[in-house]
Amino acid sequence: MLVELAIGDAYGAGFEYADPAFVTRHNTLEGYVRHPRHHGIRPGSYTDDTQMTLALAELRVSGAEWTPESVASAFVTAFHRDPREGYARGFQAFLGSVRTGAEFLARIRPDSDKSGAAMRASPAGLLPTADEVLHHTDVQARVTHDTPDGVASARAAALAVHYCHHGLGPVAEVGSWIADRLGSGVWARPWRGKVGSKGVMSVRAALTAVAAGGSLSSVLRACVAFTGDVDTVATVALAAASRSAEIRADLPPALVDGLENGPFGRDHLARLDTVLR
Ligand SMILES: [Mg+2]
């Protein structure tokens, strides 16, 4: 799951808010694409979506208590050991300025309804029961996104992983299952067109791509074809899709091999995947 979502993130990062004509021309999965404007991000590098997901995956694997402070501390540690581009400017500066989870919590204004809590929701989605998934998700989401839509989009993203991982039904019905669980029909409504920065938008687009099924390649291409905030769409979608027995694992070797493989890159993610349950 972690390797696949990182591939989705890194591939999508080349197309984030890029011109639709650029997306149409280059969304071929032949390799990672250099973003037409963000030259600081090397093709094959993942972004904030994967780094924060990795932080939460490591926290789960560590067996430490899942609290606002342990979650915040995981974010701070993951950023400082491996600073990278891709974060929203203000949040990147904030992360750079805090040293501990306690300091993070004391200074954060957790009022965002964007996709930041949803993009990192997948590690909690693997938990055995939906109640545990929702509890863990609420705790991690409220650290930065303590708003109705910020939390709900994280819940929907985590439940999508849960649904696929435990094979709770056909992928085509993932959105309606989540809509039932969360008591909101919005999750069953297919997304069309450009994806903006709100969490609800990214997760609806991701659910639409997953529900179409097929293979990881077709899901990834569909995510990027939406245009807009597509690294997050692809991160959320590939996390869920990679856990589905219905969706064929066929990501091209060029994307697997081209994923960054430094200390926290592909091999590290793959090792963690084997122990994350
Ligand atoms: Mg990102």
Burial bucket for residue 162 (CB in 10 Å: 0-12, 13-18, 19+): buried
First to last CA, the chain: 11
Q: Which residue in this structure is represented by tokens 């979608």?
A: 237
Rg value, the chain, Cα: 17
Sign of CA dihedral 19, 220, 257, 264: positive
Give the environment of ion ligand 1: residues with CB less than 5 A: 47-49, 86, 231
Return phi, psi of residue 220, to 5°.
Answer: -65, -45
Domain chopping of the chain, boundaries: 2-276
Say how many C-beta atoms besides its own lie within 10 A of residue 257's C-beta: 11
Cα-to-chain-centroid distance, residue 263: 20
- pLDDT for res 277: 87
- Residue 8 CA to residue 206 CA, distance in Å, equals 11
- pLDDT for res 255: 98
Span from the CA of 270 to the centroid of ligand 1 (angstroms): 20
**Dihedral over alpha carbons 258, 260, 262, 267 (to 10 degrees):** -70
Span from the CA of 192 to the centroid of ligand 1 (angstroms): 20
Span from the CA of 232 to the centroid of ligand 1 (angstroms): 6
Ordered per-residue pLDDT tens for the chain, 277 residues? 999 999 999 999 999 999 999 999 999 999 999 999 988 789 999 999 999 999 999 999 999 999 999 999 999 999 999 998 889 999 999 999 999 999 999 999 999 999 999 999 999 999 999 999 999 999 999 999 999 999 999 999 999 999 999 999 999 999 999 999 999 999 999 999 999 999 999 999 999 999 999 999 999 999 999 999 999 999 999 999 999 999 999 999 999 999 999 999 999 999 999 999 8
Span from the CA of 128 to the centroid of ligand 1 (angstroms): 28
Q: Which of 239, 250, 256 is nearest to 5 (CA)?
A: 239
Query: Residues with Cβ < 8 Å from 129, sequence gap 6 or more?
Result: none
215-242: buried (b, 16+ CB within 10 Å) or exposed (e) per residue?
ebbbbbbbbbbbbbbbbbbbbbbbbbbb
Span from the CA of 88 to the centroid of ligand 1 (angstroms): 8
Structure tokens that stand for 71 in this block: 């979650």
- pLDDT for res 40: 79
- pLDDT for res 54: 98
Span from the CA of 89 to the centroid of ligand 1 (angstroms): 11
Span from the CA of 135 to the centroid of ligand 1 (angstroms): 24
Is 2-276 assigned to CATH 3.30.70.2170? Answer: no
Span from the CA of 116 to the centroid of ligand 1 (angstroms): 9
Query: Residues 57, 51: contact at Cβ < 8 Å?
Result: no
Span from the CA of 190 to the centroid of ligand 1 (angstroms): 22
DSSP secondary structure string, 245-271? TTSB----HHHHHHS--STTSHHHHHH
Span from the CA of 231 to the centroid of ligand 1 (angstroms): 5
- pLDDT for res 38: 85
Structure tokens that stand for 209 in this block: 């791509």
- Residue 231 CA to residue 86 CA, distance in Å, equals 10
- Residue 157 CA to residue 116 CA, distance in Å, equals 11
- Residue 208 CA to residue 82 CA, distance in Å, equals 33
Q: Which residue in this structure is represented by tokens 């019905």?
A: 173
- Residue 192 CA to residue 199 CA, distance in Å, equals 15
